[in-house]
Amino acid sequence: MIEPIGRGERDELFLVFQPFLDLGNNRITGFEALLRWQHPSRGLVPPSEFIPIAEETGLIHEIGEWVIRRACATLSDWPEDIRVAVNFSAAQFHNASILQTIVQALADAKVAPHRLEIEITESMLLSKYGSAASILNALLELGATVALDDFGTGFSSLTYLRKLPFSRIKIDQSFIRDMLVQPPRS
Amino acid sequence: MKSVISLARDLNIDVVAEGVEIADQLEYLRQISCDEVQGYLIGRPMSADGVQGLLNSKKLRAIFAA
């Protein structure tokens, strides 16, 4: 059911999953799906290297579709109370067919939409604010949740929070690293 | 961090802290009522099989119980 994205990349792309822990009840609530590329000669290529190229060439749409389908299929094997978070790039949100792709992936995997979380970054909202907002709203109507990733690294964060219906924000790790260096002001 | 969490709460938005690596960070985030955490302390990125193993293990609850 999962189509390879191309002969060259067959079996070279894979997903890994990093857990979220709920501090209220000390339970794992879900996992962020992270894309990896195991190149036959270059070894493991980081997404920061290949995603910008995929965005330039337009291959991002095929890769993104593979990721969402793969993530949903994997999620179908997990308990009902576990969610999966999938990262989306700005380019994917400029293509309206992303909605249909997500609906189809959820239906094929027989996964409830509320178990899928879409992670987007502030910079995505800066580039094409209008179209991203309408796609986000459609995703929320569908029942998916939307998280704002890397929160705090931009400068208009609070404005976005009030304007767009995010379910969750992810505080960037740089803040967590510095959190205990300076004593918190009371 | 505290003010972000309090603002998010007013807007009915959950807060996830990324890149949690040491126990002191986890403890502080717990004190200020951060909703969720992610990072190497909780778990590195893992295969789908690893996920099944983690969900089946009772070890985690013992480690992170307050």
Tally of domains in chain B: 1
Q: Which residue has the tokens 């459609």?
A: A138
Top pLDDT among A186 and A35 is at A35
Nearest-5° angle of CA A16, CA A26, CA B44? Answer: 25
Residues of B in contact with A22 (CB under 8 A): 35-36
Using CB atoms, which residue from A22, A28, A77 is nearest to B35?
A22
Over residues A68-96, the pLDDT tens digits come to 999 999 999 999 999 999 999 888 888 87
Confidence of residue A165 (pLDDT cuts 50, 70, 90): confident
| Partner B contacted by A17 (CB < 8 A) | yes
User: Given pLDDT bands bounded at 50, 70 and 90, which one contains residue A157?
Assistant: low
Whether residue A185 is contained in a domain is answered as no
Would residue A8 count as lying in a domain? Answer: no
Question: So what's the pLDDT on residue B66?
Answer: 46
Does residue A148 lie within any of the structural domains?
yes
Say which of B16, B25, B55 has its CB closest to residue A170.
B16
Given a cut of 50, is residue A1 above it in pLDDT?
no
In chain B, the residue whose alpha carbon lies closest to the alpha carbon of A152 is B4
Q: Which residues pair with A85 in a beta bridge?
A: A32, A117
Per CB-CB distance under 8 Å, the chain B contacts of A26 are 60-61, 64-66
Tell me which residues of chain B, numbers 3 to 62, contact chain A at a CB-CB cutoff of 8 Å.
4, 7-8, 11, 13-21, 24-26, 28-30, 33-39, 42-48, 50-52, 54-55, 60-61
**Residue B23: which of B56, B59, B65, B57 has the closest Cα?**
B65
- What is the per-residue pLDDT across A43-60, written as a single tens digit (0 to 9) for each? 999 899 999 899 889 899
A25-45 mean pLDDT: 94
CB B34 to CB A23 under 8 A?
yes
B48-54: list long-range contacts, CB under 8 Å, 24+ apart.
B48/A15, B48/A17, B48/A74, B48/A77, B50/A17, B51/A17, B51/A19, B51/A31, B51/A74, B51/A78, B52/A77, B52/A78, B54/A19, B54/A28
Q: Is residue A89 part of a domain?
A: yes
Rounded mean pLDDT of B34-56?
95
Cα separation, A27 vs A83, in Å, equals: 12
Domain count, chain A: 1
- Interchain CB contacts (distance < 8 Å): A and B: 126
**Mean pLDDT, residues A146-156 taken together:** 80
**Band of residue B17 on the pLDDT scale cut at 50, 70, 90:** very high
| Structural domain includes residue A6 | no
Inter-chain residue contact B4 with A151, CB threshold 8 Å: yes
Contacts of B37 in chain A (CB under 8 A): 20-21, 23
- Mean pLDDT value across chain A: 86
Chain A: residue whose CA lies nearest to B21: A177
Average pLDDT over residues B35-64: 86
Contact between A171 and B16 using a beta-carbon 8 Å cutoff: yes
Q: In terms of pLDDT, which residue wins out, B43 or A166?
A: B43
DSSP B13-29: -EEEE----SHHHHHHH
Domain that holds residue A49: 13-179
Instruction: Report the complex ipTM.
Output: 0.90
**pLDDT recorded at residue A131:** 66
Note whether residue A46 is domain-resident: yes
* Full domain range(s) for residue B17: 2-64
Work out the average pLDDT over A90-104: 88
Reply yes or no on whether the pLDDT at A29 is more than 70: yes
What are the pLDDT digits (tens) for A111-134? 999 999 999 887 777 665 456 778
- Range with lowest mean pLDDT among A7-11, A93-97, A163-167: A7-11
* Chain B neighbors of A167, CB-CB under 8 A: 13-14
SS3 A155: coil
Q: Are strands B36-37 and A13-22 parallel, antiparallel or unpaired?
A: antiparallel
- Residue holding tokens 């995603």? A51
Note the pLDDT of residue A3: 43
On whether residue A3 sits in a domain, the answer given is no
| pTM summary value | 0.89
CATH number at residue A30: 3.20.20.450
* pLDDT, greater one: A23 or B64: A23
In a domain, A44, yes or no: yes
